[in-house]
Amino acid sequence: MSGVQNLTVDEGDDGSRLDRWFKRKFPHIPHGRVEKYLRTGQLRVEGKRVKGKVRLEAGQNVRVPPLPEPGDKKPARRMSDADINFMKNMVIYEDNDLIALNKPAGLAVQGGTNTTRHIDGMLPALAYKGTPPRLVHRLDKDTSGVLVVAKNAKSAAWLGKAFQNRSTKKIYWGITQGVPRPASGEVKGYVAKGEGFDGREVMMAVRHGTPGAKHARTLYQVASSAGNRAAWVVMQPLSGRKHQLRLHMHLLETPLAFDPKYTSDKEELGGLSPQLHLHAKSLTLPHPDGHIIELNAALSPHMRNAFDLFGFDENTTLEEMEP
């Protein structure tokens, strides 16, 4: 058991939530115990009782109570040189505040049941001055494309707020089974978690007032089509619901190719890789220093194969979608 510690908040942690700051400093302490320290006044800022969501300021004093030692906790898995190079080769943009990655399909952003290799666990490969970058948003495991991580607490807070306030613009490209009708428009309505035919959790269209229902909106346009077989569809989510784009294409009766959850009775498209055909193509966001940046991710190999197979030209001029 350690003694009482009085720690000073570093410049790089200015703006961090207290509970998240504590977790980074003492990852072996479970969340429930941290809540107890806060509830009983053992964890304080500038001598005052606070809640975990309070934002820290550089130079503040944080009183940390005596903590149990890590004990027999297993050491973190050492990354291989191959994983380090893998992460570095994923970088498509970097400055003093953020890094943009082109995430491959099939790689999870965070860990979970039976998931030990993921972006979050490999971020130390991109450490800046010894500090690993931090996640500020997510992509589904099977979705490829632009993923942004913050290099310090200030940019993490800024970018997190930008995603929360919808001041970012996300553009996704997908390959659908069949061609959406009409060729452009908006899909909107309430969605909530439900259970699919195989017992797995899926998102479903529901009525307003259904427990857990949230409103979802997606703009879309057909950029090109291969007869009635398939289409290259450009999508812009105006909300950030789980599986939103996948569900909305399914509701148009033109599900994304090889989507394992949102399927139809249509025969799978031949000649394609059996992977979800959804790519986060671009992300436009306000930068912490005040200017606007647009990040673009090259198509993943299986999406490139689909474009070649159907004769889609990614240099096609696309119309701006308006709400």
- Catalytic site includes residue 140: yes
- Scanning the structure block, which residue is given the tokens 């072996």? 28
Backbone angles phi and psi of 126, in degrees to 5: -110, 20
Catalytic residue among 140, 259, 289, 308: 140
Residues annotated as part of the active site = 140
